[in-house]
Amino acid sequence: MSSWAVVAIIAIVVWGVVQMAKARNRAERGVLTDKEGNEHYAPQARDAETKKEIEALRERIKVLERIATDGNSLDAQETKRISAEIEALRDKQAD
């Protein structure tokens, strides 16, 4: 093998190692590459904001579920029944 072939092989190996290191470094920093090869940073700050917003929405859903189901509890039904009886008695007194 000629000396130029050895130099070419070494250059190709070094180039490959450098490319692998660059890719690993980009991934650690959150750099994404699109289909055209353009690089941009992943929105890491938005991830934290999104998680907070999702947690807030989950809490709101829990409250809404509690409101929706409390109307069907035994206490709520009893309260509605007593209210209906009181209204019926008021209507009888009005007549």
- pTM listed for this prediction: 0.36
- Cα distance between residue 40 and residue 31, in whole Å: 5
Task: Show the beta-strand stretches assigned E in the chain.
Answer: 31-33, 39-41
pLDDT, tens digit (0-9, with 9 covering 90-100), for 39-57: 777 766 567 788 899 999 9
- Out of 14-23, 61-70, 71-80, 86-95, give the one with best mean pLDDT: 14-23
10 pLDDT band, cuts 50/70/90, is very high
pLDDT of residue 44: 66
73 pLDDT band, cuts 50/70/90, is confident
